[in-house]
Amino acid sequence: MPTSLTAPAPAPTAAAATVAGSPACFHCGLPVPAGGRWRVRLDGAEREMCCAGCQAVAQAIVDAGLDDYYRHRTEPAAGPSAVPPELEALALYDEPDVQSRFVRGDAASAETTLMLEGLRCGACVWLIERTLAAQPGVTAASVNFATERAVLRWDPSRTRLSTLLARVGAIGYRAMPYDAQQREAQLARTTRSLFRRMFVAGIGMMQVMMYAVPVYTAAPGDIEWQYEQLMRWASLLLTIPVILYSAQPFFAGALRDLRARSLGMDVPVALGMGAAFAASAWATVTGKGEVYFDSVTMFAFLLLAARYLEWIARRRASRAVDAMAAALPERVARLVGVGAHPDEGQLAAAEAEAVPAIRVEPGDLLRVATGDRIAVDGVILAGTTSIDQSLLTGESIPVLRRPGDEVPGGAINAGNPFYLRVLRRSADSTLSTIERLIERAAIEKPAIALAADRVAGWFVLCLLLFASAVFAAWWFTDPERALPVAIAVLVVSCPCALSLATPAALAAATGAATRHGALVASGRALETMAAATDVVFDKTGTLTEGRPRLARLQTWDGLDRGQALSLAAALEAGSPHPLARALVEAAGATDGRAAATGIEQHPGLGVEADIGGRRLRLGSRSFVAQWTPLPVDAGAGGSEVWLAARTGVLARFELRDELRADAAQTVTRLAADGLRVHLLSGDHTHAVAAVAEALGVTRVRAGASPSDKLDYVRALQRDGGRVLMVGDGINDAPVLAAADVSIAVGQATALARTSADAVLLSPNLDMVPRLLGLARRTRRVVLQNLGWATAYNLTAIPAAALGYVPPWLAAVGMSASSLLVVGNALRLRLGAPGARR
């Protein structure tokens, strides 16, 4: 921990006090300009600085708790760049060019993902979150124990990233911005370290047991005193490497927790292990009393083995997340010297330069070779190929893509080489968006996880008090058993199992969902989904393919087909709605498209604009009917869009959209699972009724505006329903956000992905019931884990306190408890989401 700012700082040297009669910079010793305004408060006094650079560095040193640098230095720093080694490496992360690779946001709010080293249990998560949240300028800090990631949000005008990283380091952990390659190196380093410590503890345990077994099995007097003492000394020497090396993480963790005034699981472990070793060493030196070297070495080995297996399990649970993060290539082949609209020959002849993917801008042209992973979202300029989107959608079969088709960043070119025009920067690509949604899920914790964390935090304090009481009680009844019984109480308890019960299950479940093309983007999504009673579907783009085609066109007021389509296309230009795209596509072959001005969008209703001196409306029947009477409803089964001026109706477009192939099966499965299925659409009555009849849905609302959809969902909630809303995001963002839990399907818009709790990355609608099945299985596993952890502690702790559990058996029980919780959670990774078991 940093030294308290109470000891007086050494007086500056004469050279540092004044320079040519002027005050000297406290940091670097250079003269402070007249009227200098840069100061840093250190040890209760304002210290003058010569420039903003020295002020920034000195403030960072103080904020990071590294002010001892000024107390122990022998001469001023050699300028503002001279910082303590602890901060020198971290200061790199404050550089704008470096931050552009991993920091999102603006000057008012920045966000990044950190990778952490040194996490032991749920108490570590609580300690890091509390420490970061207490720093000035930090607006959010959330740690995901399973993936060892932290999502951090802060105000760059109030604090620096290097300062926050240093604060994490000051409490005994290592934090740095997420980097896929460094993450892999960190994982390998942690795995090797855990294995080495476990190996040394295992060797020590086996050797100590060789000396302990004869003592246990021999009758009193069978082993002469000098030989028994020799075996004790041999056991002591063999236990020392276990204590100093293998068990070092437990003692370091306990010391870190105590310095931070926090009680993690390492505290009772270190107390139990340390007390047993100290008592055994004293008994060996004095020749009096019992020794527990076998229990100490076995305890260390079993705990390390449990942590090693738990670590492997956590790695497997987070593998899908890490695979996405590591997927995007570092460099791409960017074409140089090519015009804005090159033909295929110019593309083939162009030279390519290797540039970092993060430097690619929209409009750049890239060459994508066979087998390459596509770095950014783009549109194919030349070349026909197949792309593998399995990482994004879970679909293993490559899909055909031609010139003009969009391809997502993160997919693999499984066919021919092709040329790509960049649509979005690397940070805004499909894969990066998915990563951010995963990180957003880590920020929110389900209520059951928060409750478990609170209980686990108090559990350790109560345990220490209880162990002390048990020791005192046994001391007055049987002093020889007081220490081993107290050690067994400390060792047998397992708040780790309680803390791991929920995060282990959620990590395994979200990993399984991601592998099958369903992204859980909210920490509470699975918990809420499991309790859903009503599923509300949007129609267009959700239950239907979202690719409507113009089936019929009627015109009035002398308009011909081409004029009507030209007006509709001008009004709908740029709209992402499927019906709008269908009209624009139908007008594609027409000439002389009109230009619209004064465009006003009315979400869920239509659009209004000026074309050729007339104010026009295009949209639903009710929207257009506000201006002019419309002909009697034709009763068509497709969707209808009306075009009108204030003087009268101009055209009616009838569009048809096919149902998704798995829509009927999806609705049937949901109904069979006891859920009430609703169809909620802004389309006209006949189109919605046709879809409802084909799917067997009886709870239907047609012609619903966005406010009507909100009212419908809120009415269900008032009646006690837990509503799951499923939509594609076009006009659905408000109701997606208002529902208890929501899913955006298929090629959902960015707005829907922001509002939804889960996103289906594949076009398969049957992922909805499968996700609900996964949510229910996850709830069962969480309750099983919590039930086991509670029952174990309620049984094991009293048994240990009564003397029925020796220390070595307590170590077995504690290790088995954590492993059982993690192993039970890993069952969620088996099979597809929602598979019935």
The residues carrying an active-site annotation are: 538
- Which CA distances in Å does 393 have to 21, 397, 514, 546, 555? 71, 10, 8, 18, 42
Separation of alpha carbons 408 and 423, rounded Å: 10
Tokens 């909630």 found at: 717
User: Taken in order 339, 344, 349, 354, is the CA torsion positive or negative?
Assistant: positive
Please check whether residue 736 is in contact with residue 727, taking contact to mean a CB–CB distance below 8 angstroms: yes
Query: Closest Cα to residue 411, out of 436, 394, 428?
Result: 394
DSSP per-residue string spanning 123-160: HHHHHHHHHHHTSTTEEEEEEETTTTEEEEEE-TTT--
Separation of alpha carbons 408 and 376, rounded Å: 7
Reported as type and span, the H/E element at residue 70 is helix 68-72
Give me the helices (H) in 402-524, please.
430-443, 447-477, 479-492, 495-515
For residue 356, the 8-state DSSP code is: E
Name the phi and psi angles at 538, rounded to 5: -80, 165
- Which CA distances in Å does 33 have to 22, 24, 30, 424, 594? 8, 9, 9, 47, 65
Please check whether residue 500 is in contact with residue 818, taking contact to mean a CB–CB distance below 8 angstroms: yes
Find how far residue 673's CA is from the centre of its chain. 30
Provide the token pair at 482. 């007081």
Give the chain's count of helices (H) and strands (E). 30, 31
For residue 540, the 8-state DSSP code is: I
- Which CA distances in Å does 401 have to 13, 373, 374, 389, 751? 72, 15, 13, 12, 26
Classify residue 630 by burial, with Cβ atoms within 10 Å: 0-12, 13-18, 19+: middle
DSSP strands (E only) in 213-371: 331-336, 351-356, 365-368
Provide the token pair at 641. 């869009």
Q: Is 570 helix (H, G, I), strand (E, B) or coil?
A: helix
Which own/partner pairs from 206-214 qualify as long-range (CB within 8 Å, at least 24 positions apart)?
A: 207/238, 208/235, 208/238, 208/239, 208/293, 208/294, 208/297, 209/294, 209/297, 209/298, 211/235, 212/293, 212/294
DSSP per-residue string spanning 583-650: HHHHTTT-SS----EEEEEETTTEEEEEETTEEEEEE-HHHHHTTS--PPP---SSEEEEEEETTEEE
Please check whether residue 732 is in contact with residue 745, taking contact to mean a CB–CB distance below 8 angstroms: no
**Cα angle, residue 319 at apex, residues 313 and 324 outer, rounded to 5°:** 165
Please check whether residue 536 is in contact with residue 787, taking contact to mean a CB–CB distance below 8 angstroms: no
Separation of alpha carbons 607 and 767, rounded Å: 34
Please check whether residue 435 is in contact with residue 325, taking contact to mean a CB–CB distance below 8 angstroms: yes
Query: Residue 713's CB: how many other CB atoms inside 10 A?
Result: 24
Which residues make beta-bridge pairs with 607?
A: 601, 618
